[in-house]
Structure 1
């Protein structure tokens, strides 16, 4: 039994943020019904790579779901839609603002059918305000909400993050909000509407960088692989390859100085506190760089591991996937011939599900229609489902 067993989710979303939210709920045990157009989620066609016709992109965010291929504009589909809404606990949608309402699927309409429905809207800039009508794309939001301005080499070109972090974090925020709304419903018996946006999420992810700007009124520069408020906390080059070093406390600084045979650095007024090291980062990092280039990365990483100092090689994606921790923690598995990553959420009493591979388009249309009390062949003949 999953933690969310007995919870039914209707996922009327596509691409990444909404599907990531739906997959999180599905992993936790919810029955997630993915309502797709006859063309399917956009990510079904985003590739290569493909495996037996399935794109890796679609597979990464749609496990443990059932797929219903349905024409939301068809009047013949309306009775099935309303039946599903009556039985649902949660609905997740990421239409453009006004899109759900044009289909008769807006919150006010569905709340009259099911007042207990938790209705989650995911958008680029929120359902109100000056950006409400704008489409939302992760890349654009990374640029507009400040992330790109602090990402990339110091003095170099602004850069996006290598994965769609605004989408992914928005999906996680949506899942968190849904769980909170379900808990609230347990107390008062009523559903509610949730409004989660990529812009709000990305702005909040600026975290300490945004706090620095609020405190000082100054804009945030790019630091590349360094940290604006902690030194040394960056990448360094060994004789063969680079590694990262994270000295995030005065205790670790003392350990580093002793480990490197430089106890005198502890009393050097330029470096004796983190604030001093931040002010004098160039001189310290130059001294460290000169030291580290004299040995290979394996030497330094072994030394730091023995001393309990956080450091790591800069692994490739393949190296990360093959990492002993990933294997020991069961973060890789295969289902239905599709290789996947596991859920990072570990519950001792209700572990994450590993039951359904990412579905083929409309794979469960007949089953879902029958469960709702409808004849799938009649619906198909009427053009309502596939």
Structure 2
């Protein structure tokens, strides 16, 4: 039931577009918040136009990121509409999440410091591109730019091949998650002292956070990490291997697991070889070890080898295409993929359960301006006013 969700009764205004802010709003909506999405009357969220594919003439990307929200439109060139939006935020909002170009909202009379002065309990969350200080603070940013500039693309893909972007909006969605973490932490503090505050994150900071281990590795060794395809720099073997019919990911994350893997492949002598007996030695000698493992794995069908590795207690998993993931019985058992009420398009839920139940907003994504008031409040951002951060 909606009133049993932890954020029931909380009101969040989402002044954003594309992925980062909408994903944050989606998480909050699934947790029970009333999320009011503020959009440009001349086209709305940029993601409304991303496609094909479309579902009932709506962008699938937009539907996947805006479940259960309300939509109002605000023309920022109209001072009266800006004032109505300002009053609405002061009257009912617990928090605001925004990922618009720095300085844009202040230009239209929506200065967060002034709003929080008038309503000290308000929590304001900024999702920027490169952060609010430093030489890149005014530079616009999108997910692939952050993947490139934080080093993620440098360790993704295969050595001596062109750069590869992670295939999902890792940075955007990560920034949305950091925004939610920050907002919820401020809500906890507000419960003690009644005061809201400001939360800020950015795509660049999110990318740096994902680089925690590679950058620490560089600091310790002085060596610039390189890409290892499906593998990992610090653990061997920990990568996808080609079986006779398809790919199988094998993760022998310690010496005991490697010994089990070697036995399962019929090569127990590898675990006794001093060149491969410890992980440090396997990492040092990966160039000689991996070809032997590849040849051994290639002699087996993936399902047969997976069963053998399961019996030996060696972590492994097949590489599945999206269609097989969507239809997998484990996906079904977890209840992650369900349609909204009144629709049949399966959409992914949040990756948590609360007391054994997965929180989820049941309503479909709103039509543009669907929740405008009869008085004619059309609220959001002109496409020509500036860019958002995140895509």
TM range (shorter): over 0.9
Alignment of 1:233-382 (within 5 A): 233-335=238-340, 336-337=342-343, 338-348=345-355, 351-366=358-373, 376=374, 378-379=375-376
Aligned to 2:388: none
CA distance in 2 between counterparts of 1:209 and 1:175 reads 25
Aligned residue among 13, 16, 22 for 2:19: 16
TM-score (norm 1): 0.93
What corresponds to 2:155 in structure 1?
Answer: 150
CA distance in 2, matches of 1:263, 1:294: 16
- Which runs of 4 or more aligned residues in structure 1 lie more than 4 Å from their structure 2 counterparts after TM superposition? none
Give the C-alpha shift of residue 27 in structure 1. Answer: 0.5
Question: TM-score, normalization: structure 2?
Answer: 0.92
Residue of structure 1 equivalent to 2:37: 34
2: distance between equivalents of 1:350 and 1:268? 49
RMSD: 1.6
CA drift at 1:127: 1.9
Are 2:238 and 1:218 equivalent residues in the alignment? Answer: no
State how many pairs are aligned: 373
| Distance in 1 between residues matched to 2:272 and 2:259, nearest whole Å | 10
Q: Is the 8 A contact 1:82 1:113 kept in 2?
A: no
- Give the distance between the partners of 2:319 and 2:35, measured in 1 at CA: 37
Q: For the Cα contact (< 8 Å) 2:32–2:361, is it kept in 1?
A: no
Cα contact 2:79–2:108 (8 A) shared by 1:
no
Q: Give me the whole-angstrom Cα distance separating, in 1, the residues matched to 2:82 and 2:161.
A: 54
The answer to whether residue 73 in structure 2 is matched with residue 69 in structure 1 is: yes
Distance in 2 (CA, whole Å) between partners of 1:248 and 1:184 is: 40
> RCO (CA 8 Å, sep 6+): is it higher in 1 or 2?
2
For 1:162, the equivalent position in structure 2 comes to 167
> Within the alignment, does 1:196 sit opposite 2:193 as a pair?
no
1:50-109 C-alpha deviation (Å, 9 max, x unpaired): 111110110111111111122233222244313321211110011111111111112112
Structure 1 segments unaligned to the other structure (5+ residues): 367-375
Structure 2: which 5+ residue stretches go unaligned?
381-391
- 3-state SS, counterpart of residue 365 of structure 1: coil
Deviations for 1:101-153, whole angstroms, at most 9, x for unmatched residues? Answer: 11111211211231111100011111222112111111111111111111111
Deviations 1:194-249 (A, max 9, x none): 11000011011012111111112221111111110000001111111221111112
Between the aligned partners of 2:135 and 2:111, the Cα distance in structure 1 is 20
> Secondary structure, in 3 states, of the residue corresponding to 1:194?
strand
